[in-house]
Structure 1
Amino acid sequence: MHEIWTVVHAERDALVQDLENLPAEQWATPSLCPGWDVHDVLAHLVDDAKTTYFGFVRQFAAARFDFDRYNNNAVARERADDPRRTLDAFRAVSHRTTSAPVPKATRLVETFVHGEDIRRPLGIKREYPVDHVVAALRFQLGTGVSTGGGKERAQGLRLVATDSGDDSGIDFAFDHGAGPEVRGTALALLLAVSGRPVAPNELTGPGVPQITKDGGINHG
């Protein structure tokens, strides 16, 4: 768990640095989350970092146990009028270790997927630690779409991460499932199973149409 938080804190710091000099007009850029701009996603990450076990239970009940309502309420609560203030709030909570009552691997999913929800539309590139991206991918493949995972999107497919294994210089290989193959980086596979769009050349194989079809993105 300590290792997960070390990664999460480093990635939060990196996101702050990437957004420090973002021009004012770019904060309204649509993110990869339908209906949310990049400012909204950052506000969601502020709430995610601040959330505690009992705080989540209280706010989820107030949202009548509806995840979309819960997330939208959180964005409205944490989204300042000035995006710079939201970024300051994110910086202030970036090294917290509080969490909703969910498996800790979700912290990695939130960090990588929402980081790309913001970065990709803004044209910002980042290299993430492959082993931890694979950990997030494994979690998503074991979690249903209804609770923010991507298990159903990958059913009947073989997923192969091209940036793991001996040929990539990484000492482990990611090869999951059986069926029509989908090959790509661990990050591209993570985004696809999480319902995010990827560039046309990021994934290859006969299983690509299935994994990239509209799957109903969950903001969480």
Structure 2
Amino acid sequence: MIHAERAALAEDLAALSDEQWRQQSLCGLWVVEEVVAHLTAAASIGTVRWVRSIVGARFDADRHNRRRLAEQRGRDPEETLQRFRAVITSTTAASGHTPAWLGEVVVHAQDIRRPLGIERTPALTAVGAVAAFYAGRDFAVASRSAIKGLRLEATDGSFQAGTGSLVRGSTLALIMAMAGRAPYCDDLVGDGVPILRERCSPAAT
């Protein structure tokens, strides 16, 4: 599923203009090209190197991410895309939490697509796996904390989680909101939506 989602994103990126590569993404202060370089970095660093990198950054995740992103960003968008294409079938990851790395691709792909108006929905099996993982624990994002006291129900699949005020919508919108992307709260309904929106971070990575 990770390979399929990377391939789908690479296909979407192929026709971007230089202006679109500079478009602000939903991921903090990063533009589209920086998000792509970040995804390449995530698929290029194993556990040992990741530990060395995070220790070298004094456990500052933002500094670690910026350094690895800079490594994988090309001289121009074309080179950045070539580097991303080279890792489409990579099985390298910083840990064995496969659903987390699937989430990394799914979420960051939407960080790119939504501002650009690109309509593509990831496979339901992929977003379902990410949703279950996000609801179960805080890992790369504080997803479980974000839905405390809320009842999430997917309208396009079997995903359900939590108890409390209701939040309903597509599985994709639910995972994007759990990942802190406030614009996706516009795609949700229920009395719990204002609570979830308030918990979304404007600088989510």
TM-score range, shorter chain: over 0.9
Pick from 79, 90, 95 the counterpart of residue 96 of structure 1: 90
Pick from 3, 6, 16 the counterpart of residue 12 of structure 1: 6
State the alpha-carbon separation in 2 of the partners of residues 162 and 56 from structure 1.
Answer: 37
State the alpha-carbon separation in 2 of the partners of residues 160 and 110 from structure 1.
Answer: 22
Give yes or no for the alignment of 1:195 onto 2:180. yes
CA contact (8 A) 1:141 1:149 kept: no
Give yes or no for the alignment of 1:163 onto 2:156. yes
State the alpha-carbon separation in 1 of the partners of residues 121 and 67 from structure 2.
Answer: 31
**Distance change (3 Å), C-alpha of 1:179 and 1:200:** closer
CA contact (8 A) 1:159 1:182 kept: yes
**Distance change (3 Å), C-alpha of 1:150 and 1:200:** closer
Gaps of 5+ in 1: 1-6, 165-172
Give yes or no for the alignment of 1:211 onto 2:196. yes
Kindly provide the amino acid, as one letter, of the partner of residue 178 in structure 1.
T
The percentage of counterpart residues that share the same residue type is 42
CA contact (8 A) 1:157 1:181 kept: yes
Kindly provide the amino acid, as one letter, of the partner of residue 150 in structure 1.
S
- My pick for the range that moved more, 86-95 or 191-200, is 191-200
State the alpha-carbon separation in 1 of the partners of residues 75 and 29 from structure 2.
Answer: 18
CA contact (8 A) 1:50 1:99 kept: yes
1:201 shift after superposition: 4.5
1:123 shift after superposition: 0.7
Aligned residue number for residue 55 of structure 1: 49
State the alpha-carbon separation in 2 of the partners of residues 94 and 199 from structure 1.
Answer: 26
**Distance change (3 Å), C-alpha of 1:158 and 1:214:** closer
State the alpha-carbon separation in 1 of the partners of residues 186 and 155 from structure 2.
Answer: 13
1:51 shift after superposition: 1.2
Aligned residue number for residue 141 of structure 1: 135
Kindly provide the amino acid, as one letter, of the partner of residue 192 in structure 2.
G
CA contact (8 A) 2:53 2:64 kept: yes
TM-score of the pair, normalised by structure 2: 0.94
> Partner of 1:198: helix, strand, or coil?
helix
Gaps of 5+ in 2: none
- Please tell me the root mean square deviation across aligned C-alpha atoms, in Å: 1.5
